[in-house]
Amino acid sequence: MEQAERMVKRSRTELAPGQKGDNVAIPIPLVDRGRGDPRNILNVILDRSENDNYTLATKHGILKGAYSRNEFELCPEKLLLMSDVNCTTFVSLREAVVFGSRCGGQGNIKCNCSGSKKCQTNRSKCFKAKLKCNSRCHQSLNCKNK
């Protein structure tokens, strides 16, 4: 048996499959989460494909992309019902986090400008948002927007 087949077999025995309507929690990456935001976002399983990829939805819309079983945890109780889910719009995980955030999400804007303009045009995300460049943007000392 190949290594990939063994890994899939082991993950299927260790992780119980989710059923349609089950509640799941997806961990929110640290870069997408604000300081007061929760560590997980609550979702409902809408569909399960034959390849064990799951389509998930939140209150704010259906998450773009398919998730494998090792990317989320099953919740023991049903906190979110299928009727509470918005099935008309598609959102990314980052957008769902911002919609559900009490603080407005992470809120960091980061540009990576280089060249002769040095962050003085609307091509720069920071300049366009009327913010000063910070150390997360770039380490350039010749930036004109610091």
Is the predicted pLDDT of residue 32 greater than 80, yes or no? no
Is the same domain home to 115 and 94?
no
H-helix segments, the chain: 3-14, 93-100, 125-128
pLDDT, position 30: 79
Domain check: are 56 and 78 in the same one?
yes
Same domain, 43 and 19: yes
Token pair belonging to 100 = 């559900």
Q: Do 136 and 86 have their domain in common?
A: no
> What percent of the chain clears pLDDT 90, i.e. is strictly above it?
31
Banded pLDDT at 131 (limits 50, 70, 90):
confident
Confidence of residue 139 (pLDDT cuts 50, 70, 90): low
Q: Contact 23/97 with Cβ under 8 angstroms?
A: no
Tell me: do 57 and 123 sit in the same domain: no
Judge if 96 and 121 occupy the same domain. no
Q: pTM score, two decimals? A: 0.67
Give the pLDDT of residue 145. 75
Same domain, 23 and 80: yes
Report how many domains make up the chain: 2
Burial of 53 (0-12, 13-18, 19+ CB in 10 A): middle
Write the pLDDT tens digit of every residue in 70-129.
899 999 999 988 888 988 999 998 888 888 776 666 666 667 776 667 788 887 777 787
Q: Is the pLDDT of residue 66 over 90?
A: yes
Ramachandran bin of 144, using left for φ above 0, alpha for ψ from -120 to 50, beta for the remaining angles: alpha
The DSSP 8-state label assigned to residue 133 in this structure reads -
Q: Are residues 83 and 124 in the same domain?
A: no
For residues 51-72, average pLDDT = 92
Distance, CA of 36 to chain centre: 16
**pLDDT the model gives residue 119:** 80
CATH of the domain at 87: 2.30.30
**Residue 51: strand pairing partners:** none
Residues 121 and 91 in one domain: no
Instruction: State how far the Cα of 76 lies from the Cα of 24, in Å rounded to an integer.
Output: 9
Amino acid of residue 78: K
Q: Is 141 helix (H, G, I), strand (E, B) or coil?
A: coil
The reply to whether 11 and 44 lie within a common domain is yes
Distance CA 96, CA 49 (A): 22
Residue 67 has pLDDT above 90, yes or no: yes
pLDDT for res 3 = 92
Q: Can you name the residues that pair with 24 across neighbouring β-strands?
A: 43, 74
Q: Give the domain range for residue 133.
A: 109-146
